[in-house]
Structure 1
Amino acid sequence: MSEHHLILGGGGFIGKHVALLLAQAGHQVTLAGRRPLVHAMPAALADRVTFRRLELGSADWDALVAKADVVHHYAWGSLPASANANPGGDLRTNVGLTIDMLDALHRRGAGRVVFSSSGGTVYGKLHAVPVSEDHPMAPITAYGAGKATAEVYLGLYRAMHGLDCRIARIANPYGAGQDLSRGLGAVTTFLHHALNGLPITIWGTGDVVRDYIHIADAAQALVALAAAPRHETFIFNVGSGVGISLNEIVAELETRLGRTLDVTRTATRAFDVPISLLSVARAKSVLGWAPALSFTDGMARTLDDLRRNLPFSTLN
């Protein structure tokens, strides 16, 4: 059955890939954001995808959500560094606007919400590896604290008003189409620097381990989460379930490119936990989703996409 999906942050890395999948499946999609897509959707999907300019601070939320069967909340107006520099502003902007959106859905009395949280920051220092969704949230950055607070309100509106709120704690997505100017995504950034003869910067020893998920897998998980029947379980990790260090990213790149890369090492950052690795057992059990690409395969696909200058990462 065709549905109408509203994607907040629709011009972003995650939003545009989810939109492509939804349109390919026959759904109507409204992308809402400050900037339209730099690259248009494929012509065959043009009648299913529309863009609506959105300034979150002045949004008419009632009008915006009026026709949406599903609201995908991927808009977040800060990065880890900017959130730490202004925690109060980060809280007011991101969490405040999340509550405004939830209030509009409550007034409407219907609609699903899919929220992109941060599997890499809401847990803080892990008590167990890989980490399950039952691990306490104990963020050690303002960015993580903001995401965790938004999660609390989503759970509150679910319990208090019956809203169908669903949360995806996403690991570290990578792939073609990621905005390198935002300084996010070690895999894509390292690839870009390697292909353009630029030095790669690693903080500390490079032994920090993270869970990296290809954007094709992440987008599939979010589509599965949006489509699933309502369930008492509504928080899901979305990751690869495999830990990769920064040094291993460099080693994989050197193997694929056949040369030694220029690597610069700087001081360790205080907010970098030694390891962040997600268990995806719950998503496999409840949603029937599992990542399809190994890190090696994802790297190969991303490298090919970047060499071909593709605006979207290949999804098939």
Structure 2
Amino acid sequence: MTGTRHHLILGGCGFIGRHVALLLAEAGETVMLCDRAPLSVTYPEAVRHRIGHCTADLATADWDAMLEGVAVVHHYVWASLPASANADPARDLALNTTPTLALLEAMRRRGKAAPRLVFSSSGGTVYGRLRQVPVPEEHTLAPITAYGAGKAAVELYLGLYRALYGLDCRVARLANPFGAGQDLARGQGAATTFLHHALTGQPITIWGDGEVVRDFIHIADAAAGMAALATCPEVGENWVVNIGSGQGTSLNTIIAELEARLGRRLAVRREPGRAFDVPVSVLDIRRARDVLGWAPRLSFAEGMSRTLSDLAGAATLSTMG
């Protein structure tokens, strides 16, 4: 990365955005965090002057003004969760896809001065039930949740604007990031949530038999992958990239790992399985290795160890070590 660009991070105060911001600032780039929420972390003094914050809403943003001087837009904000999207698909569409189209139109109006756009999609939902494991980017998009359908719709519109107007749109199909500082109230991030419940003595809820397999990636590696995609000079036709660990871990394995580390049995509550939970989701990350020169550095066990240490020490921002 070179220190010549200005980045606008939508959802910049979120779990992914604030970690990517730190990496970019450490590389000498300037960053504006755009979010409805206030900035809740304190960045190291050495990079603080490179990171700004502004308050805005995706649905009402003045994109023409906000894009002025911006080289890269990071689209990490999403106003729904799988459960809420399924409950009201029309609202999910209005909150997420329609505002993104307004952003794309503002970029189109800028012509050759349009910034690059990096969209954080969902590697765990857009593919649906996998026909191939690990799943490559060429796999058919077949989401079985409204949440996944919304993410896939935005991907399709990004492809449309690439083809029609030459916009440099890029998609990161992100696996399941985990680590200290994840918003537990959103109900996402099984690895972090299980850890938090284990440390605080709360029962852990598992839907189904616990053999659901997911691709978990520590936030340090996820942020590095997102930053690599945002700053890669040229991706050509490889503009959709899986960012994950490339390894599958079951929920039961997480429980066993925690019990071994904590030296005690955990309280686990088993609930009936949910129709929208695909049985296996593991990403093929060879394209990210080949095109971006990126690969995860932490194994699941190492990531859990770091997260356990961070949570035990009440850390809120785990830097890239």
In the other structure, the counterpart of 2:179 is 175
The answer to whether the aligner puts 1:282 opposite 2:287 as a matched pair is yes
In the other structure, the counterpart of 1:146 is 150
Q: Cα deviations across residues 62-115 of structure 1 (Å, max 9, x unaligned)?
A: 111111100000011000011001101111220111111111111112210110
The DSSP-based 3-state class of the residue aligned with 1:6 is strand
In the other structure, the counterpart of 1:118 is 122
The answer to whether the aligner puts 1:184 opposite 2:188 as a matched pair is yes
In the other structure, the counterpart of 2:251 is 246
Find the aligned partners of 2:25 and 2:189 in 1 and give their Cα distance: 26
* Pairs within 5 Å for 1:1-316: 1-2=2-3, 3-109=5-111, 110-230=114-234, 231-316=236-321
Taking structure 1 as the reference length, the TM-score comes to: 0.99
Deviation at 1:178, TM superposition (A): 0.3
The DSSP-based 3-state class of the residue aligned with 1:198 is coil
The DSSP-based 3-state class of the residue aligned with 1:43 is coil
Find the aligned partners of 2:88 and 2:69 in 1 and give their Cα distance: 35
Matching residue's letter, 1:168: A
Query: Contact 2:20–2:223 (CA<8 Å) still a contact in 1?
Result: yes
Deviation at 1:232, TM superposition (A): 2.1
The DSSP-based 3-state class of the residue aligned with 2:281 is coil
Q: Cα deviations across residues 268-293 of structure 1 (Å, max 9, x unaligned)?
A: 01111110110001111111111111
Find the aligned partners of 2:83 and 2:277 in 1 and give their Cα distance: 12
Query: Contact 1:301–1:314 (CA<8 Å) still a contact in 2?
Result: no
The DSSP-based 3-state class of the residue aligned with 2:121 is strand
Moved more, 32-41 or 184-193: 32-41
Q: Cα deviations across residues 190-233 of structure 1 (Å, max 9, x unaligned)?
A: 00000001100001100000000000000000111011122221
Find the aligned partners of 2:287 and 2:75 in 1 and give their Cα distance: 21
Deviation at 1:314, TM superposition (A): 3.2
The CA RMSD over aligned residues, in Å, is 0.8
Aligned residue pair count:
316
Taking structure 2 as the reference length, the TM-score comes to: 0.97
Query: Contact 2:19–2:319 (CA<8 Å) still a contact in 1?
Result: no
Matching residue's letter, 1:26: G
Deviation at 1:46, TM superposition (A): 1.5
The DSSP-based 3-state class of the residue aligned with 1:173 is strand
Deviation at 1:41, TM superposition (A): 1.7
Q: Which runs of 5+ in 1 are unaligned?
A: none
Query: Contact 1:66–1:108 (CA<8 Å) still a contact in 2?
Result: no
Structure 1 stretches (4+) deviating beyond 6 angstroms? none
The DSSP-based 3-state class of the residue aligned with 1:168 is strand
Find the aligned partners of 2:60 and 2:230 in 1 and give their Cα distance: 26
Matching residue's letter, 1:232: E
Q: Which runs of 5+ in 2 are unaligned?
A: none
Q: Cα deviations across residues 31-66 of structure 1 (Å, max 9, x unaligned)?
A: 000012212222222210000001222110111111
Q: Cα deviations across residues 124-150 of structure 1 (Å, max 9, x unaligned)?
A: 000011100000000000000000000
Matching residue's letter, 2:96: N
Moved more, 15-24 or 104-113: 104-113
Find the aligned partners of 2:316 and 2:64 in 1 and give their Cα distance: 32
The DSSP-based 3-state class of the residue aligned with 1:57 is coil
